[in-house]
Each structure stands twice: as structure tokens, then as C-alpha cells.
Amino acid sequence: MKYVDEFRDSETVRKFSEAIQGIQTKPWTLMEVCGGQTHSIVKYGIQELLPQELTLLHGPGCPVCVTPAHLIDKAIAIAGLKDVIFCTFGDMLRVPGSQGDLSSVKAQGGDVRIVYSPMDVLELAKENPEKQVVFFAIGFETTAPANAMAVYQARQEGLDNVSFLVSQVTVPPALRSILDSSSTRVEAFLAAGHVCTIMGYKEYEPIAKEYKVPIVVTGFEPVDILQGIYMCVKQLEEGRAEVENQYSRSVKKEGNLPAQKIMQSVFEIVPRTWRGVGEIPASGLGLRPEYAQFDAERRFDMELPIFEESSECISGLVLQGIKKPDQCSAFGNQCTPEFPLGATMVSSEGACAAYYRYQKAQT
């Protein structure tokens, strides 16, 4: 198959749905890792095409959602400074911190700009030498190579008025954290295809072997997801726990080696706090010492109060697959995309946003 319509073909979808029902003999619980997959599952009603005893849980694969609250607060504080141009991707604008969000800073006169590539930030720094230009570098392994290249290029060009507020996280440690939890129900994973396009899937093999869980690298269209589910269920029914690649049109086992090389040259492994989850050891990427001059946290050294999430928000439980968005008492009432209590309601990849957008449209 070559074209996106083929991966949304209703007849192919029906065949995979029937195939899953034909091989399942026991109840199973799977987790899709990526927020993009979650949106497809809810948008296309994929859960309704599955056997009743096959449960899909939503994982922590929304980079906006897991960006820690203290970094949102730091971003807001930096963006409000005179002579700062603060740059971000658009989906970070309305993520709530303890006191507002980046869009409120912009409304109050702060120079907050949406960019479409981290390289845009370097051009802004050249055009505005009297300003400090800061980029909010968030994301999983998918965004890390481009962010790393921007940092590398900034050093090559000797730009001293650009810095990066880094909140890069990596997926495999998060899977281990979920599997180590006493409350986990996950028996297999649909791994995020775009992350594996960069990193390959070799690093998932020890997880599958150690925890005895099937992991299937999966794309984002209905046929992709149903085929990935079929492959997971087939492994579970056969008592296997391996890494398989459904998304072979994009993912190679070794991944994108040049992208990995630039990542590794600029970033090092660090512990990282995940919003709603807590600190996960060795789950983040931070700037190496030789690039410390571009670290916005060092350049703008600020002491900010610790932010506590709303007691009504269960986004942490949603991100860990313990609860689903519509099990939250605030969902659709106190918490909406216009007035979000947590990041999972406002992010374009958030599970709560998916439920609100697509389930409300279906009722």
C-alpha cells in the first residue's frame, strides 16, 4: 500500500477486526504509547471494532502533556522578561502552569512567537542581536535530532543570544516505569512508529524479553493500528513476547543513524520529571557540558515555587493507563479545551482532548 486512503479502507479495517475476533480466546489489555495513535483510535471508533474483552489503554506518549509543570512556569517567567523573544511550537501556548500559560504572556505584551522549525530560532537570533532568543525544545526522540542540530549550528555560528529550554524525553524508560508499577494492567504495547523511525526498535527488545510483553511498532492510521493490535493479540495467544514491526514502510530496526549521531553529540542521558508521573531515571536528554552556554535554565537562573496540580485533575493516571479520560469527574465540566485543568485536555495529542473532541461529536 502506498497512499493514505488505503490505510483507511473500510474493507481492510473490517477484515482485521474480524481476524482479531477470530484469534482472541482470553481477555487482554494493550496500551498504545503515542497520543497520535490515541486520537486515531477515538476518532475512528477503533475500540468499538474490537472484542469486548480486549481493552486499549492510553499511554504517556504526548510530549506536551508530560512536560513538567515547573518548566512551563519557567517558560512563562522567561517569556515575560524584557528583551526576550520566546519561541515555541503552537501546541505549547495554552498548556497551563501555576499562573496562566504562554498565551497569557503574549496577551500581556510578551514577545512569544510560534515557530515551525528550531532552525527558525537561529534566524531570529541573527535578525535581533539585541534580544535574547529562547526556544522551548520539547518532545520525544522524534524532535530531538532537529533540536540538536539547531544547538550544534548555534555553536558553529557563534550565536551568543540564543538558548534552549530543554524538555526532551525518551520512550523506553517510560515503558519500564509503567511495567514496574504495581497498578499496571498492560500486557502488550503498540510502540510509536515515528519515534522508532528515528531510534529503530533494538532498544525495545530487552524490555519485551525482561517483562515478557509483546511490543509491536505501529503506525497511525486505522489499518496500521488494527494490524498492530492483531499482531499483539496473536503473540499473547501464542505465549510469545517479541518486538515486531508493523510500520515497516517507515521503520528500520537500526533507525536513522545520522539522526541518532547528532542527538548523541549534543545531548546526554539525564533523569527527567514527567508531568503527572514523577521523575523517571535516565528518561531525558539534556545538553552536554560543551553546549552548556546554550542552556536557558542556566542562562536564566530563577527560583520558582513548586507547582501542585489541581486535585480534580487525573491526567497523571490517564498518562499511566490507570484511568481513562471519561472516568474523571471534571471531564467536560470543570475541564474543557477552553478551560483546561491539565495538559492532556489542551494538547493536540492529549487523550482527554481526543475524548472531548471525538466522543462529544459522536453523541
CATH number of the domain encompassing residue 131: 3.40.50.11740
Grid cell 524525553 — which residue?
169
Angle at 257 between CA 285 and CA 252, to 5 degrees: 105
Whether 361 has a pLDDT exceeding 60, the answer reads no
Backbone torsion region of residue 41, taken as left when φ is above 0, otherwise alpha when ψ lies between -120 and 50, otherwise beta: alpha
- What is the rounded CA–CA span in Å between residue 210 and residue 232? 17
- Once rounded to an integer, what is the mean pLDDT over residues 269-292? 95
For the chain, how big is the Rg over CA atoms in Å?
21
- What is the rounded CA–CA span in Å between residue 1 and residue 15? 16
Q: Are 190 and 231 in contact (CB under 8 A)?
A: no
Cα–Cα distances (Å) from 343 to 66, 159, 220, 347, 353, in that order, read 8, 33, 22, 6, 9
Whether 326 has a pLDDT exceeding 50, the answer reads yes
Residue 254 identity:
E
Q: What tens digit of pLDDT does each residue of 43-68 get?
A: 999 999 999 999 999 999 898 999 98
Q: What tens digit of pLDDT does each residue of 205-235 get?
A: 999 999 999 999 999 999 999 999 999 999 9
* Grid cell digits, residue 124: 531570529
Whether 166 has a pLDDT exceeding 70, the answer reads yes
- What is the rounded CA–CA span in Å between residue 216 and residue 247? 9
- Once rounded to an integer, what is the mean pLDDT over residues 271-298? 95
- Cβ-based burial of 359 (10 A; exposed 0-12, middle 13-18, buried ≥19): middle
Q: What residues does 34 pair with on adjacent strands?
A: 61
Judged by average pLDDT, the poorest of 123-132, 204-213, 346-355 is 346-355
Domain limits for position 82: 1-363
* Number of domains the chain is built from: 1
Residues 6 or more apart whose CB falls under 8 angstroms from that of 196 comprise 204, 217, 245, 247, 251, 255
